[in-house]
Homo-oligomer: A and B are copies of this chain.
Amino acid sequence: MVDAERAGRILDAANDLITHYGYDKTTIDDIARAAGISKGAVYLHFKGKEALFEALLLRESERVMDDMFARIEADPEGGTLFQVYSHALYAAISNPLIRALSTRDRRVLGDFARRFANMVSPQESMMFGREFIAHFQAAGLIRSDLSPETVTHLLVYMRYGFLMSENVLPPEHTPPIDEIVAAMADMLSKGLSPDGQGNSEAGKAIMRGYIAQIRAAIEERRQRINQAK
């Protein structure tokens, strides 16, 4: 078994265990057993549970980004800001670990939750910020009579409310997630687009640039984790 393949198996096992039982209840022993290798072999790859978890978060972040990007590319209207936004949300909630992270799920994150509070994924720090919005405004994909800061805030509110309200809203009347996300994208589009949807291809071109930047940032973090080993 080559190194990268074994590291991947360790991360797969950790991902299963942590999303099911939580970070606190998962030990290196459990992970080694589930991956079918020795505990010593786990330490060859990761200096401890925390480093392993960081590497896992990075891998899952990258998967979410790939998923988001594939959804955007496959969608003819995928380059409009509102489709980008929906695809980003779908991708985030479709991945159990990233979903737990986005909703600050203490059951999964455990002790790590506090440390993680100040940790932001490369996607989060680059997408839907002021500069990002300004790009979309310049490409005619978003109303330019609003300041980029204001648009950023409105988008963050929606995203935060959407992700966190599981904790506050009674679940019994929650419409299917597809219906909510579609209505959200439609509302944002009617509310924040200039007349007409704007040119989806221009948005996709912007997104490709960001994806490349995010990939580079993920790679850099991965190097840092490896050097710390």
Residue of B at shortest CB range from A186? B191
Instruction: Point out the residue from B149, B159, B175 that lies within 8 Å of A153, measured CB to CB.
Output: B175
Q: Please give the distance in Å from A173's CB to the nearest CB on chain B.
A: 5
Contact A130 B161 (CB under 8 A): no
**A156:B169 contact, CB within 8 angstroms:** yes
A160 and B161 alpha carbons, distance in the complex (Å): 5
Q: Tell me the bound Cα distance from A154 to B177 in angstroms.
A: 12
Chain A window 110-146, contacts with chain B (Cβ cutoff 8 Å), 1 for yes, 0 for no: 0000000000000000000010000000000000001
A156 contacts across to B, CB distance below 8 A: 161, 165, 168-169
- Whether a CB of chain B sits under 8 angstroms from the CB of A90 is no
A191 and B187: CB pair below 8 A?
yes
Q: Are B161 and A174 in contact (CB under 8 A)?
A: no
- Chain A at the B interface: SS class: helix
CB distance from A56 to the nearest CB of B (A): 23
**A180 at interface, CB cutoff 8 A:** yes
Residue A210 lies at the interface, judged by CB distance under 8 Å to chain B? no
Instruction: Give chain B nearest CB distance to A52 CB in angstroms.
Output: 27
- CB interface residues, A 161-220, toward B, < 8 Å: 161-162, 164-165, 168-169, 173-175, 179-180, 183-184, 186-192
Task: Assess the A160–B164 pair: CB atoms within 8 A.
Answer: yes
Number of interface residues of A (CB under 8 A): 34
Q: Which of B149, B159, B169, B173 contacts A175 (CB 8 A)?
A: B149
Please name 19 further chain A to chain B contacts, defined as beta carbons within 8 Å, in addition to the given A149-B174, A156-B168, A187-B192, sorted by A numbering. A130-B173, A147-B175, A147-B179, A149-B173, A150-B183, A153-B165, A153-B169, A153-B175, A156-B165, A157-B158, A157-B161, A158-B158, A158-B161, A160-B160, A160-B164, A160-B165, A164-B164, A187-B188, A191-B191
6 sampled A-B residue pairs with Cβ under 8 A: A130-B173, A152-B173, A156-B161, A156-B169, A160-B161, A187-B192
